[in-house]
Amino acid sequence: MTDNEHEIEQPDERVPKRVIGTPAPGTSMLGTAEVKAETDQDVPGVTLQDPVKARKAERIVALCFAITFLASIAFIISYVYFQVGSPEATGTSNLALGTSLTLAILGLAVGIVIWVRQIMPKYTLVQERHAMVSDEADREVVGDTFLRGANESGFVRHKLLRRTLLLAAAPLGLVPLVLLRDLDNSPMPGAKFNEQLRHTVWGEKTKEGKPLKLIVEGTGQPIRAADFNSPGGILSVVPEGYQHDLTALAKATVILIKFRPEEIKSGVRQNWTHDGIVAYSKICTHVGCPAALYEQNTHHILCPCHQSTFDAADGAKVIFGPAARPLPQLPITVDAEGFLIAQGDFDVPVGPSYWERGDAEAAVREKGGQA
Ligand code: FES
């Protein structure tokens, strides 16, 4: 391809000719641009690097790439070796992964930058541009408008307003710093926090020491198992005595589904059901939306937020979507009068997966710090 084939026809001679791609040495990328000749070999517009410095730079670049190689291997080893679970283990894993990945990317970036700046030849390019300054008339209009606005606002005249405005703006500038600091104090699953996340009120008893009844959400009516008898039926229920406790309900709301016995699969804990009635947490295990859309034919529970889908007939296992674990099953039975009651609390934390990590930490603590 000749140099002329790079040129794009432009009608106006005053407009510099554009060139596609890197020009051959000795030519300018802009036809009419002025190019300085300042290389060893006297090639106009091209400065070759000092060979001694270039060789030194080459060794540095090779070192950077070697660091990238080693850090990448360290990243893969860290991923396999440091398993997550407790907050401490997760922190160690994140530190190892983050450090090795940072080194890998940094080595690559630094190597490429040195390669380009100290090994490749430099081009001196000049491109003519039109003046960016506005014409005199426009500048006058803008200046007049600004001054008129400043006078009308009375910013100079009203000292009290000016000073209180500056006073108000000063602490506002510190707000981002406070918010940044707050990032460091965000709650993490810890010893105290974990206890709150791990338990729901379903593990508690009434004043008389009896297990909590399952109450229909909204009406507050207890549910007699014999009355909840049509297969495919679903109810949203809450714990007796906590109908109006929004903090408790945020974790304790449950859906109740009635199955034919033959529909129930192995994922369901049978001794936690009563006569084909199964109870699951209504709090989606993705990020905690209420998962209460139920499809009778397929037994699918759907969370409307991000479409996580759970198989209610098979222990509410995840069959689609971003949720990472099943909806926890609540152990239920009936009391002497036939009302549905909870046998106890969920045996795993309900809701989003960070609660689950809190649970992992509790398990570690209960074992005396042994992972
Ligand atoms: S909260 Fe349920 S799918 Fe995201």
Spell out the domain ranges in the chain.
3-123, 136-183, 195-366
Q: Is 306's C-beta closer than 6 angstroms to any atom of ligand 1?
A: yes
pLDDT band, very low/low/confident/very high, at 364 (cuts 50, 70, 90): very low
The structure tokens listed for 331 are 């152990």
Q: In this structure, which amino acid lies at residue 355?
A: W
- Ligand 1, atom nearest to 322 Cα: 3
Tell me, what's the pLDDT at 110?
A: 96
Q: Is the pLDDT of residue 19 over 60?
A: no
Tell me, what's the pLDDT at 45?
A: 76
Distance 298 CA to ligand 1 centre (A): 19
Place of tokens 């007796």: 240
Among 17-21, 239-243, 289-293, 322-326, the minimum mean pLDDT is found in: 17-21
Nearest CA to ligand 1 atom 3: 306
**Greater model confidence, 152 or 17:** 152
H/E stretch holding 278? strand 277-281
pLDDT band, very low/low/confident/very high, at 20 (cuts 50, 70, 90): low
Ligand 1, pocket-test mutation among 253, 255, 285, 287, most atoms within 8 A of CB: 287
Q: Is 321's C-beta closer than 6 angstroms to any atom of ligand 1?
A: yes
Cα 241–Cα 348–Cα 202 angle in degrees, nearest 5: 10
As a whole number of angstroms, the distance between CA 234 and CA 278 comes to: 10
- Across all residues in the chain, what is the average pLDDT? 82
pTM of this prediction? 0.51
As a whole number of angstroms, the distance between CA 268 and CA 315 comes to: 4
Q: How far is the CA of 20 from the CAs of 30, 34, 46, in angstroms?
A: 10, 18, 17
pLDDT band, very low/low/confident/very high, at 326 (cuts 50, 70, 90): very high
Q: Among positive and negative, which fits the CA dihedral 146, 149, 154, 155?
A: negative
Q: Which DSSP state fits 122? A: E
Q: Is 258's C-beta closer than 6 angstroms to any atom of ligand 1?
A: no
Question: 195-366 in CATH: which number?
Answer: 2.102.10.10
Among 23-32, 85-94, 118-127, 223-232, the minimum mean pLDDT is found in: 23-32
Q: Is 286's C-beta closer than 6 angstroms to any atom of ligand 1?
A: yes
As a whole number of angstroms, the distance between CA 343 and CA 228 comes to: 18
